[in-house]
């Protein structure tokens, strides 16, 4: 059974794991020096060295590196990252100079999708779409057992589908992108607006932030909704509706057997997924005359990226 390393490079941390058959055996973690490309590479090598050392005499077949950005089809170069200093960055070559391990880069949402497909919620399906709901929206598409990368490697940037003409300005520069309405950032924005409105229904939200809306976080909204606060429940319900309607549009194009919802906001569980499922069923094209895709919660949590990245390397070693 192949032993591989998965590394997930995020905006604030670099998390790594030694993985066998989808099971995390050892972990390593360092902070991300986000503004310095050389320092990022060195930090990744530090994680690789720690995990190689943990493997002892066991062979490690390679390291998959999940990156928050546009990764080219060959897994060599990060074309662009919104939150890190990568612009046409040949990260694989930088790492190859510093480690003897075979290395491949992969988009972080693609890696998470492969992890859920091979070892998580999507393992019973051949065709699956992952929607990661965090600060923004990411996505990964598995079609008949293959990751969809597109002609240049940057397919499945689903958070930037336009859902509202002339809508809210997105960090990508456009207006009306899906992630402006169905992400953790959207949840926090709407919750803070509710606090600022002075409505009595926001009383528990006001208490949670001490009257300062800028202190309110998505975890506060989820906690209050779990405790039965109507305002918090309504906020998550609205987010779920946006999520389900967008997922229905994706299903019209991709026809997946399963839509898996992951990312930090998915911790809200049924409070998010149930309204998403209902909205999805209301909006699905041809409803009543086609199979219903499963709408599922991701099962690997924050490990999806490292497990998926490691599994990509294990699968390559086996010739998959």
Which band of pLDDT confidence, cut at 50, 70 and 90, is reported for residue 171? Answer: confident
Q: Nearest to residue 103, comparing CAs of 90, 116, 119, 84?
A: 90
pLDDT at residue 73 is higher than 80: yes
107/222 same-domain check: no
197/140 same-domain check: yes
Kindly report the average pLDDT of the chain as a whole number: 94
36/134 same-domain check: no
- 228 domain residue, yes or no: yes
- 119 domain residue, yes or no: no
pLDDT at 85: 87
Please give the residue that has the higher pLDDT: either 288 or 91. 91
283/134 same-domain check: yes
Residue 175 near residue 169 (C-beta atoms within 8 A): yes
**How many domains, the chain?**
2
Read off the CATH number of the domain in which 97 is found.
3.30.420.40
- 59 domain residue, yes or no: yes
pLDDT at 317: 85
- 163 domain residue, yes or no: yes
pLDDT at 35: 86
Q: Which two tokens stand for residue 222?
A: 């989820």
189/249 same-domain check: yes
291/308 same-domain check: no
Which sign, positive or negative, has the C-alpha torsion 266, 47, 41, 32?
Answer: positive
58/197 same-domain check: no
- 307 domain residue, yes or no: yes
Which band of pLDDT confidence, cut at 50, 70 and 90, is reported for residue 230? Answer: very high
pTM of the model: 0.91
pLDDT at 319: 76
39/188 same-domain check: no
pLDDT at residue 75 is higher than 90: yes
If you average pLDDT over residues 281-304, what whole number do you get? 93
If you average pLDDT over residues 33-51, what whole number do you get? 93
226/309 same-domain check: no
148/67 same-domain check: no
Q: Nearest to residue 7, comparing CAs of 38, 32, 37, 36?
A: 32
pLDDT at 54: 94
221/310 same-domain check: no
pLDDT at residue 207 is higher than 90: yes
pLDDT at 229: 97
pLDDT at 288: 87
Neighbours of 20 (CB within 10 A): 15
50/134 same-domain check: no
If you average pLDDT over residues 227-236, what whole number do you get? 97
Range of the domain at 240: 124-298
pLDDT by residue (tens digit) across 129-167? 999 998 889 999 999 999 999 999 999 999 999 999 999
- 220 domain residue, yes or no: yes
What separation, in Å, do the N-terminal and C-terminal C-alpha atoms of the chain show? 14
């Amino acid at each position: 059974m192949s032993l591989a390393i998965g590394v997930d490079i995020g905006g604030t941390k670099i998390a790594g794991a030694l993985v066998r058959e989808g099971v995390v055996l050892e972990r390593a973690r360092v902070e991300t020096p986000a503004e310095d490309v050389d320092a990022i590479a060195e930090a990744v090598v530090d994680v690789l060295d720690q995990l190689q050392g943990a493997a002892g005499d066991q062979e490690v077949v390679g390291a998959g590196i999940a990156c928050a950005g546009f990764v080219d089809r060959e897994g060599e170069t990060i074309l662009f990252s919104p939150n890190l200093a990568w612009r046409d960055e040949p990260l694989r070559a930088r790492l190859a100079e510093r480690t003897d391990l075979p290395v491949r880069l992969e988009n972080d949402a693609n890696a998470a999708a492969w992890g859920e497909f091979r070892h998580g919620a999507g393992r019973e399906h051949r065709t699956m779409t992952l929607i990661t709901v965090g600060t923004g929206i990411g996505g990964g598409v598995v079609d008949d057992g293959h990751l969809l990368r597109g002609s240049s490697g940057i397919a499945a940037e689903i958070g930037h589908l336009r859902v509202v003409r002339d809508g809210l300005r997105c960090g990508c520069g456009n207006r009306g992108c899906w992630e402006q309405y169905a992400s953790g950032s959207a949840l926090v924005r709407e919750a803070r607006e509710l606090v600022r409105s002075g409505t009595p229904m926001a009383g528990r939200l006001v208490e949670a932030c001490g009257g300062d809306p800028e202190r309110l976080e998505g975890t506060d909204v989820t906690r209050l909704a779990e405790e039965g606060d109507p305002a918090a429940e309504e906020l998550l319900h609205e987010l779920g509706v946006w999520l389900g309607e967008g997922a229905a549009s994706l299903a019209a194009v991709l026809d997946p057997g399963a839509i898996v919802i992951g990312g930090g906001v998915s911790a809200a569980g049924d409070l998010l997924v149930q309204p998403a499922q209902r909205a999805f069923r209301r909006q699905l094209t041809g409803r009543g005359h086609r199979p219903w895709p499963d709408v599922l919660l991701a099962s690997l949590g924050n490990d999806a990226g490292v497990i998926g990245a490691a599994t990509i390397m294990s699968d390559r070693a086996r010739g998959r």
